[in-house]
Structure 1
Amino acid sequence: MMEITLIQGDITEQSVDAVVNAANSSLLGGGGVDGAIHRRGGPEVLAACRALRASHYGKGLATGRAVATTAGRLPATWVIHTVGPVYAADRPERAELLASCYRESLRVADELGVRTLALPAVSAGIFGWPLHDAARIALTTVRDTPSGLTEARFVLFEERAYQAFDAVWRELGEGRGHGSMVD
């Protein structure tokens, strides 16, 4: 049984098995969640990402895919990096790429034996995905994807992101985002 929770806070402060990073394809850090995770995780995260680039991901990580590294100095064991799509209203197929970010992150988490996972609102920042739609895709994908997780914790930095996720969670008939259980 997986519990899906929503909190407003800083994803880099979550004591969980793994944290999902809304990464850019270079895996070498950036702004928003990506920059915060790299700063807090320290040089260990960057070194692990550089090693990935030097091996299997020479051209970077493809949109919709996920890969794990150490969490470095974060209060987690792993960082699962996923690259979300840039929003384009005229390209509805990109929603599948966003859903893939969450499915792939859960797949990697299961491969690592992760039980507790903190997730951001992938693509809802600089990549411009409308919050309500990003929340719908994120919540339905995580809810509907079989996983060995005990908790999927959406950590929303801004109040408006938290409010959007909470509203969608209620629209989906799941009640408020605190302590909702999913089979």
Structure 2
Amino acid sequence: MRVTCVRGDITRQQVDAVVNAANSSLLGGGGVDGAIHRVGGPRILAECRALRASRYAEGLPTGQAVATTAGRLPARWVIHTVGPVWSSGEDRSGLLASCYRESLRVADELGAGSVAFPALSTGVYRWPLEDGARIAVESVRAADAAVDEVRFVLFDDRAHEVFTEQVG
């Protein structure tokens, strides 16, 4: 598996699957989630609503992942995963690692060869960037996945620098 980092907009990545930093409602939000829903269009939301009406009535649990169409994105699928909120009093790193592993498991089920990830939980969920990058890269490299390429798509220079340092 080739692991790379790019500075850019995840909604413009030409990959098989884009990972969405979703909230548990699956109904859109801010940041990466809002951008994916805005650019991808109403088909993504329609599939998310169907998931909520069926197997995720209570929402998608933290650390799990599920796929929908990518709508108007230049990808085939969106893999939605819910990252944990940072806590100084509770170790939630296993949940963050699970987001990456479960997303790659879903990607394998879909037959995706390339996957683009954002820096999960490092935005409004306040996960420290350096630790989030370490967990992301270690989790992806340790995953037993058939995916050929994992691309970390970072929105700003600092995140790109920190992830690039972890990738090596």
- TM-score band, normalised by the shorter chain? over 0.9
The 2-side partners of 1:138 and 1:122 are apart by 8
Aligned residues: 168
Equivalent in the alignment of 2:57: 58
**Match for residue 135 of structure 2 among 134, 137, 146:** 137
SS at match of 2:36: helix
1:103 corresponds to 2:101:
yes
Of 111, 114, 139 in structure 2, the residue corresponding to residue 113 of structure 1 is: 111
Instruction: Report 1:40-59 matches (<5 A).
Output: 40-59=39-58
- What is the match of residue 159 of structure 1? 157
Considering only aligned residues, what root-mean-square deviation do their CA atoms show, in Å? 0.6
Report the residue type matching 2:123 in the other structure. Answer: G
TM-score, normalising length: structure 2 = 0.99
In structure 2, the residue matched to 1:20 is 19
**Which amino acid is the alignment partner of residue 131 of structure 1?**
L
Give structure 2 stretches of 5+ with no counterpart.
none
CA shift, 1:167, in A, is: 2.0
Secondary structure of 2:61's match? coil
Indicate the SS of the match to 2:132: helix
Partner residue, 1:90: 89
What is the distance in 2 between the residues matched to 1:167 and 1:113? 29
Following the alignment from structure 1 to structure 2, what is the Cα–Cα distance between the partners of residues 150 and 53? 31
Q: Deviations over 1:46-86 (max 9, x none)?
A: 00100100110011000000000000000001000000000
Q: CA deviation at 1:168?
A: 2.2
- The separation in 2 between residues aligned to 1:30 and 1:81, in whole angstroms, is 12
Report the Cα distance in structure 1 between the residues aligned to 2:89 and 2:115, rounded to whole angstroms: 32
Residue in structure 2 matched with residue 172 of structure 1 by the alignment: none
State the TM-score, normalizing by the size of structure 1: 0.91
Q: Match of 1:37, as an amino acid? A: I
**Separation in structure 1 between the aligned mates of residue 25 and residue 149 of structure 2, nearest angstrom:** 29
Structure 1 stretches (4+) deviating beyond 2 angstroms? Answer: none
CA distance in 2 between counterparts of 1:149 and 1:66 reads 16
Q: Give the drift of 1:146.
A: 1.3
Cα deviation, residue 160, structure 1:
1.0
Letter matched to residue 110 of structure 1: D
Deviation, 1:164, is: 1.1
Q: Which amino acid is the alignment partner of residue 65 of structure 1?
A: Q
In structure 1, distance between residues paired with 2:37 and 2:88 = 30
